[in-house]
Amino acid sequence: MDLKKGEFLYEGKAKKIWASENKGRYIIEYKDDLTAFNAEKKATMEGKGALNNAISAYLLGYLNSKGVPTHFLEAVDERHQIVKAVKIVPLEVVLRNITTGSLCRRLGVEESLQLPRPLVEFYLKDDALGDPLVTEDHALLFGWATREELDTMKVLTLKVNDLLRELFEKHGIVLVDFKLEFGRTEEGELVVADEISPDTCRFWDRSTGDRLDKDRFRKDLGDVLGAYREIWRRLSTEEA
């Protein structure tokens, strides 16, 4: 597909979005910016956008091939993707396989516990409020999503978890948790949107326990880009 940017639509923490000349298609540019703690901590690392573009294109394409509908159509160069135009549902869906991060701080539970089944949580997409945890009743009563959409988001999130856990296990990586966003297409279909990358997932090396995700930036562990490169190296190598 041709990369001809139309009207500029939106700039977020990690991406810019344009309309394209093709109706129903958007162009996404991945930025080199890194943020954490609701953008209180910021940095720019050259090459980060290209890595996230490659990783997200691979994973969204993989999900498409396994029957999970996503907005992804194709990566057109190192930084840009063409995706279906969607209206984002104002909820973030977080799935946790292992306890860490805000869950431990919020509930006082032990770090690194393997949960007996995946935990699915909903958060309101609102930077000014700090993306607060919300219940399904909140989403229904305030009109953020319908009952059918909430059910579909949960089913798809659990399917994504099954598929990605299996994929990453082959590459010696533990999928600790991840965040998904969903969008409604012009035809009314609910699809996985945004990105799936080390910015939105926690990946631990199965053998060493090393963090291979944005926690290296959050916790000042160093070599952030090295971790992102390692994720891409393993995904793009036939033999893990």
Mind listing the pLDDT tens digit for each residue in 49-74?
999 999 999 999 999 999 999 999 99
| Judgement on whether residues 12 and 106 belong to the same structural domain of the protein | no
| Judgement on whether residues 146 and 200 belong to the same structural domain of the protein | yes
Residue 80 in domain: yes
| Alpha carbon distance 62, 184 (integer Å) | 20
Please report which confidence band the pLDDT of residue 39 belongs to, taking 50, 70 and 90 as the band edges.
confident
Condensed to tens digits (0 to 9), the pLDDT of residues 85-130 reads 999 999 999 999 999 999 999 999 999 999 999 999 999 999 999 9
Higher pLDDT among residues 4 and 128, named by residue: 128
| Judgement on whether residues 162 and 66 belong to the same structural domain of the protein | no
Q: Domain limits at 68?
A: 5-84
Tell me what pLDDT residue 28 has: 97
Last residue of a domain, one of 63, 84, 105: 84
Place of tokens 């509930």: 107
Q: Give yes or no for residue 179 having a pLDDT over 90.
A: yes
Last residue of a domain, one of 84, 118, 133: 84
Residue 233 in domain: no
| Judgement on whether residues 216 and 154 belong to the same structural domain of the protein | yes
Specify the DSSP element, H or E, that contains 49: helix 48-65
| Judgement on whether residues 71 and 159 belong to the same structural domain of the protein | no
| Judgement on whether residues 93 and 209 belong to the same structural domain of the protein | yes
Two tokens at 122?
């909903």
Tell me what pLDDT residue 21 has: 87
Residue 228 in domain: no
| Judgement on whether residues 136 and 206 belong to the same structural domain of the protein | yes
Tell me what pLDDT residue 240 has: 42
Last residue of a domain, one of 59, 84, 109: 84
| Judgement on whether residues 214 and 95 belong to the same structural domain of the protein | yes
Residue 190 in domain: yes
pLDDT averaged over every residue in the chain: 95
Q: Give yes or no for residue 3 having a pLDDT over 90.
A: no
Residue 137 in domain: yes
| Judgement on whether residues 178 and 135 belong to the same structural domain of the protein | yes
Total domains in the fold of the chain: 2
Residue type, 17: I
Q: Find the CATH number of the domain harbouring 104.
A: 3.30.470.20
| Judgement on whether residues 165 and 183 belong to the same structural domain of the protein | yes
| Judgement on whether residues 128 and 144 belong to the same structural domain of the protein | yes
Flag whether the pTM goes above 0.85.
Answer: yes
Condensed to tens digits (0 to 9), the pLDDT of residues 5-24 reads 888 999 999 999 999 988 89
Tell me what pLDDT residue 54 has: 98
The answer to whether the Cα torsion of 191, 195, 197, 199 is positive or negative is negative
Q: Give yes or no for residue 1 having a pLDDT over 80.
A: no
In this structure, of 36-40, 128-132, 172-176, 190-194, the range with the lowest mean pLDDT score is 36-40
Condensed to tens digits (0 to 9), the pLDDT of residues 188-228 reads 999 999 999 999 999 999 999 999 999 999 999 999 999 99
DSSP class of residue 211? B
The string of DSSP codes covering 68-107 is --BSEEEE-SSSEEEEE-EEEEEEEEEEEEE--THHHHHH
